Structures are given as C-alpha cells and as structure tokens.
Structure 1
C-alpha cells in the first residue's frame, strides 16, 4: 500500500567515485533524498538516476519511482547556466529557471509561466526581456512586453524552434525543418518580419535590426533602416557567399567566402562608405566591433579598421605593431589586439582603454582579454591580471593587486570586474553602477568560495558555487540582491 513508511537503505554514487549509504524510507520524495545527498557531499545541482539510468522525478516518492531497499542511485552534477541582460539574471537548471533583478527587465515572472519553464534548452535576452526555448521546441517569454517579453499571440506558430537571436528590443526565431523566421517585440527594433524567409542558417543583429544568412550565402535584413534593416540594391547584389556577420550598435559587416567585406547600415556606426572599395578586396578572417567601429583581422594576421576614430576606427598609429593578431577585444570606444607572442596592442579612445602604454611592460604572455564599458583586464599565462583604461570602470586594480593571483576566469559589468581564482574564491574591483563608489562584495565574501561560474548584468554579478548556492552582489536594481528568490534557488 502506497505511502507507508518503510525504512530502506540506498547507496548513492557520484561520478567522481564517492559513495554514501543513506537511510531513508519509501514514502520520501526524490527531492528530499536529493537535498540530503547535496548536504552530505556539499555538492549542488544534482540529478538522480536509477540503477537502470532512468531519471528520477523529484516530486514523486521513492516508492513511486521504483527505488527499493539496497538499490544504487547515481547523482549527476549539472552545472546551471546563467543568462543576463542589462538589469536581470535568469538561472537555468534542470528543474527550471529562477529570475531576479529589475522586474521591468525580466527580473520577475508570473507563476504560470514559471511552472512551464522546465527542460530549457537555450535562453536569449533583449535589453528588457528573456526568451527560453524548451526541449519540445516551444518558446516562453517574459519581461517588458514592448521588448519581446510577450509572445502569447504567437504561441501557435512558435513551435519546433531551433534557435533565437535578439536585438535590443526584439527576438527572431528560426523554426522547423524549413528554417523559416518569426520575429516579435518592438517593431522599430526588428520585431516584425514580413519576409517569407526559409533555409535560414544564422541570424545576426544590431540594436534595431536583424540580418539572416541563407543556405545559399545570401543575406536578408529587416528592421530599422537606421540600424541596418534597410539595404540598397547595389549592396544586396554584393551580399553573395556570406559566411559570417558582425555588428556594431547600428551597422553590419559581412565576410564573404573570399574574405572580402560588405557593410551596410548607419555610416556613423561603421557602415564603411569611403572604405567600401578597399574592403571589397580584403582577405578577412574575423571581425570585432566596438559601439561604432569595426576592426578586422586579415588572413595574414594584420588588421584593418574603419568607423569613427574616437571609437577605434583608426589604427594607423599602431599599424606596424598589428601583426600575427589572434583575437581582438573591445570596450565601447577602443580595441585591444592579442598577438600570437602574447603581447597586446591597443588603440581608440585613451580613456576607454585605447592607451596601454603605462602597463605595456606587464602585458606579456597574455592568454585572454576581458572588457568592461571603458577598461580592459588581461589574464596572463602566470594567472595574474593586468588592467588599464578608465579607473572608474575597473581600469585600476591596484587596490586588489596582491589578491589577483591564480585567476582562471574574468567577468565584467559595465564598470567593474570580478576574477574567479583556482581555489574558487572571487576578487572584485571597479565601481558600482549607480553609486560611483567601489563595487563591494564584502557582505557576501564569506559565501564566495567553491565558485564554478560567474555572470554579470550592467551593474551586478552572480556566482554559482559547487555547493549549489547562487550569490549575487552589486546594484540591487540590476540583480545584485537575490534574497527574494533563495527558496526557489534551493529547490533546483
């Protein structure tokens, strides 16, 4: 008879090989057993499977799930993903999604939608809304309705969704075997696509427009003509054999199969104008973008730039140093190029990281570069960090320099950085978004150990620990306070 308390012993096995025999009873739920296991091993975000490998449903009892005395249960760690827009977070785990931050930006969700957010495959974000693709190909949205947060009128059509791209205020989804497109959100930002597109391979966006690459290499844009949604016939004819597209805030740049570049959109944001002829004969491997300018790595490792000089569109002063470039990172108004020899070359607005002369001697053996709005942070091979750029955007790390060792990952808000160290602790520096005071993690520092993932909005950080805790700090309006959802987070 179901529901009786029958004492039983279950052997728990982790992928690491650690085991534990736990005393429980048949009427206990899988979720209760999971919480016991998480506490015993100090390991969060577990999924339990039976001895046959079947996933155990958390809400059901052990008896209902067929778990018997002496059985072996395997606990599998699933690291959650955190999506973010400018002012809200969405943490996605096996059992669902938890959101926090500014409610107008998607930091709150109604109970009905929250209950449906299970088995989420992908989350995308506009400035003020989120869209989640579920395992069955349906889409759920929440946040500001005018920024894509309301897709209720499209629910019958939003099926078998393969991929979603976002502009600042709209979403575009690729659906079904035909790979057609459906868009929603702010019409002025690409939220309406009247074109009958099929065989869409990928979609790129500016703030206010989308561009779809088709299987045959053609490109079809839509949205605001100010932001690249409109196109002249001559440009349309050049958009053949396109392999990838990059964008500034209001312009697109497409790389064709032969390495040549075609740009369109707003000329104040990097649509090339007078550079068009030169770019048509380039051999480009990769393109990076600041707010308003582009920087492209040629196949030989040299660099070509275009767009407003104050946003990094002119690299003449450092052209001879730009060789063997592997990767380019950008702030809002400057670029930093990482060379094969581990050296870094910068240009653009000096106050935004375009001038690295004061730290050039320290910029050796650099492995990767991260950026805030106006500063850079370089991670070296010796796991130390070098920063430069605007001091109020994280460009000055002298206050925490001694602790910036053994760093494995760096994350950034608009005005601050957080570095995750090999021992799972976190070091932060820079300025809190709304205060002009130092970003402060001291109140949560005792929780910031065993960290395995970091994410950021414009003004706050969120860290996920191996223990299953989610810690946030920074501007509360931007997601720096998740105390109201702690119960939901613990249920994941």
Structure 2
C-alpha cells in the first residue's frame, strides 16, 4: 500500500492509504471522501497537476510519504453581458456560457486558454477573464472588448479588470498602471490621462466612463465627457 498525505490550502490534511495499482481517479475519490470536500485538482509536491484520472499512480511517480495539495472547488460565480451569461468556479478550467453567441454566449474560441480562472468582468457584449498567472482572456463582440489583441502584450500581472456598461475594459496592473481596450466611445481611449494613471488603487465605471482612485486619494476620469468625466461637484455637509 502507498501512504500519502493530501492537504487543503487551509492546512487541514488527511493521511491516505491506497494500493500502488490504483489510478489518479481512485486517489481523488478517496481524498474527497476523507476530507469531505469536492475539489478540482491534485497537485504534487513538485508542482505537477494530476488531471488525467485514468493515469496509474505508478506512472505519476508517487512515493511513500509524499504530500499532495488539494485545490478545493469554490462556489460557482456568474457574470453577464447584455445578452449572455458566464458561469465558472474560481481556479477552475472551464467556463460555461450561453445566450447570444456574438455577445459572449459562445466562448469556444477562447476555451483552451481559460485555465485557473479567477475573475470575470463583462461589458454589454464581451467578457474578460483574469487567470491565475495575471493574464487576461477575452471573447465576445470584438469592438466592445471581446478582442484584446492590440494590448495583449501589456496584459500581464493584472490584479483587477473593470468594465463600462457599454463596451470598454480597464485593467489595473500590479505596478498601478492601467491598460484599456474596447470601444472608444465607452471609455477604451485613456491616452489623454495615461500619464496620470500611476499608483491606481481602484477603478469604477459608469456605462460610458471610468474613474480611477490613485494612491494619494486623487481621482482621474476618462470616457464620454457627458457621462461622468467632469470633476466632482457634490460635497458632503
């Protein structure tokens, strides 16, 4: 028999005894039963993800005393464009979409890239997913943010993506800078304020415009000047 330990990220673990002739699927079922928690994948101490449930444990190379990490299944989350839905779990490798295909209901062209999805944002006709490595995958109507190819080389170490209700995305990178794409009328053109978009802490959006809070507490806005770009006028008493 093979003795291994399977641990959750919380620190909770279980010592398991399983036959050498067993398969990855058998180990997964035993781990789920022992820890009472469904999960999406097992990771070895060397960082190998065990995805093939039919693979024999002997081929995996597990040894007595090895420890594996169990990536638990997270609650389902949803996002929606104006005409399509997306359903996923944090850390999962699959997104289910339905609705009008051109508005995000069909993610088949991007499905192979959707691995370890963390967050999904949506404009009126496109989705943007942040992956575990900080990259971004988009699909949907190209003009409304579904095509990020023009800025793809800049979309690295992304920590937040916000979207206007119309058709533009804004991504905050780890260094506090911002990358935008989509339909210019809805806020994708941030060139006029790009030099000011440093040390950005948070971005919020209306249907047509973005507002970014900087580290010093100041606010930078861009988008359609008729819809939320002018300086704040309301003051608290």
Other-structure match for 2:123? 331
The question of 1:398 aligning with 2:191 is answered yes
**Shift of the alpha carbon at 1:318?**
1.0
Measured in 2, the distance between the counterparts of 1:401 and 1:384 equals 8
Report the counterpart of residue 384 of structure 1 in structure 2: 177
> 2:82 aligns to what SS in structure 1?
coil
Contact 1:385–1:407 under 8 Å retained in 2: yes
SS at match of 1:335: strand
Alignment of 1:141-180 (within 5 A): none
CA–CA separation in structure 2 for the residues paired with 1:337 and 1:295: 10
Q: Name 1:344's counterpart in structure 2.
A: 136
Asked if structure 2 preserves the Cα contact closer than 8 Å seen for 1:370 and 1:411, the reply is: yes
- How much does 1:327 deviate? 0.9
Q: Alignment partner for residue 87 of structure 2, among 296, 305, 308? A: 296
8 A Cα contact 1:298 1:304, kept in partner = no
Q: Using the alignment, how far apart are the partners of 1:292 and 1:440 within structure 2?
A: 27
The alignment's C-alpha RMSD in Å is: 2.1
Residues 411-490 of structure 1 correspond to what in structure 2 (within 5 A)?
Answer: 411-433=204-226, 440-441=229-230, 444=231, 471-472=232-233, 482=234, 489-490=236-237
TM-fit CA distance, 1:310: 2.0
Please list every run of 5 or more consecutive structure 1 residues that lacks an aligned counterpart in the other structure: 1-257, 259-282, 445-470, 473-481
Report the secondary structure of 1:398's partner residue.
coil
Q: Deviations over 1:76-117 (max 9, x none)?
A: xxxxxxxxxxxxxxxxxxxxxxxxxxxxxxxxxxxxxxxxxx
The 1:392–1:374 alpha-carbon spacing in structure 2 relative to 1, beyond 3 Å, is same
- Given that residues 303 and 323 in structure 1 are in contact (C-alpha distance below 8 angstroms), is that contact kept between their aligned partners in structure 2? no
Give the conservation status (yes or no) of the 8 Å contact 1:414–1:433. no
CA distance in 1, matches of 2:214, 2:200: 4
In the aligned structure 1, how far is the partner of 2:202 from the partner of 2:94? 28
Partner of residue 307 from structure 1, selected from 99, 102, 113: 99
In structure 2, what is the Cα distance between the partners aligned to 1:432 and 1:311?
Answer: 26
TM-score using structure 2 length: 0.64
What is the rounded CA distance, in whole Å, between the counterparts of 1:440 and 1:329 in structure 2?
Answer: 22
Flag structure 2 segments of 5+ consecutive residues without an equivalent. 1-37, 39-73
Aligned residue runs from structure 1 range 115-264, under 5 A: none
- Asked whether the equivalents of residues 209 and 229 of structure 2 are also in contact (C-alpha less than 8 Å), the reply is no
| Deviation per residue, 1:24-81 (Å, 9 max, x gap) | xxxxxxxxxxxxxxxxxxxxxxxxxxxxxxxxxxxxxxxxxxxxxxxxxxxxxxxxxx
2: distance between equivalents of 1:347 and 1:364? 17
- Corresponding residue SS for 2:170: strand
Runs of 4+ with >4 A deviation: none
The answer as to 2:132 corresponding to 1:367 is no
